[in-house]
Amino acid sequence: MGGGDVPKQTFFNLELERRQAIIKAAVEEFAQLPFEQASLTKIVEKCGIAKGSMYQYFEDKRDLYLYVVDLAYEQKRDYVRKAFEKGGDIFSVLEEYYLESYSFARDHPLFHQVANKFWDSKAEALQSELEKGRLSRSHDFAQFLDDAMTQGKVNKALDPEAVFFVYHAVGKELVDHFDQGQSAQFLKKVLDVLRLGLTTRREEV
């Protein structure tokens, strides 16, 4: 989630307390509403600074938003990184990945909502950022899947693009529903559906 212009230097010169108050208010607002509907006015009111001050720290609303989204993904990376470090086959890595995402959502619900809502943004001003994020994700997964297919872990007859498509869809839906208390049990069952497929297998797995 590469930021655009990121905050100006003045923002980092701020006392910690003030900086944190701004971040807190912004995170709360952007967790509740998508970019287009979130209100900068409400943010400055919530953290008690003047409207004009905000424009000393950030170029505009988009700049503040992308900074907050960046913060959220920084936090999230600390969690999901563990899944890749542990290693194992593609299925155990994916399970670990979603388990870590789940922990992140539980430990940092506001950051989780911010990160998640980001992908639904329709605003013109965000489309290039979204495209960047999507490309980097699909590239990472393609690499990962390619290895698993070469190793014979994943059915070579499948279309890699279609596999990515399915995983992307299910992953997004999973993460979307973390707020609403989806259990780790259920996560396992969803991944089973993907692993095994719908039709009954004659072999034992």
181 binds its own copies (CB under 8 A): no
Residues 54, 37, 133, 168, CA torsion sign:
positive
- How many degrees, rounded to 5, is the angle at CA 133 between CA 115 and CA 60? 65
As measured in angstroms, the least distance from the Cβ of 191 to its own copies is 9
For 34, list phi and psi in degrees, rounded to 5: -65, 160
Quick one: what does residue 21 bind among DNA, its own copies, none, with the CB cut-off 5 to 8 Å set by partner type? none
Choosing from 52, 124, 156, 181, the residue that interacts with its own copies (CB under 8 A) is 156
Interacting residues with its own copies between 39 and 98 (CB under 8 A): 90-91
- If binding is defined by CB under 8 A, does position 155 make contact with its own copies? yes
Please identify which residue in the block is written with the tokens 């108050």. Answer: 21
Name the one residue in this structure whose structure tokens are 């607002």: 29
Is 203 a residue that touches its own copies (CB under 8 A)? yes
Binding site partner of 122, from DNA, its own copies, none, Cβ cut-off 5-8 A by kind: its own copies
Question: Which of the choices DNA, its own copies, none does residue 14 contact, using the CB cut-off of 5 to 8 A by kind?
Answer: DNA
In the complex, what is the shortest distance from the CB of residue 20 to its own copies, in angstroms, rounded to a whole number?
28
* Residue 19 touches which of its own copies, DNA, none (Cβ within 5-8 Å per kind): none
- Least separation in angstroms between residue 40's CB and DNA is 4
In Å, how far from its chain's centre is CA 31?
12
Kindly report the length of the chain.
205
Interaction of residue 134 with its own copies, rule CB under 8 A:
no
CA 76 to CA 175: how far, in whole Å? 12
Interface with DNA (CB under 7 A): 9-10, 13-14, 18, 38-42, 49-53, 55-57, 60-62
Distance (Å, whole) CA 2 – CA 70: 7
Q: Which is nearer to DNA, 12 or 186 (CB)?
A: 12
3-state SS, one letter per residue, for 73-125: HHHHHHHHHHHHHHCCCHHHHHHHHHHHHHHHHHHCHHHHHHHHHHCCCCCHH
Per CB under 8 A, residues contacting its own copies are 33-34, 36-37, 90-91, 120, 122, 152-159, 161-163, 165-166, 168-170, 172-174, 186, 189-190, 192-203, 205
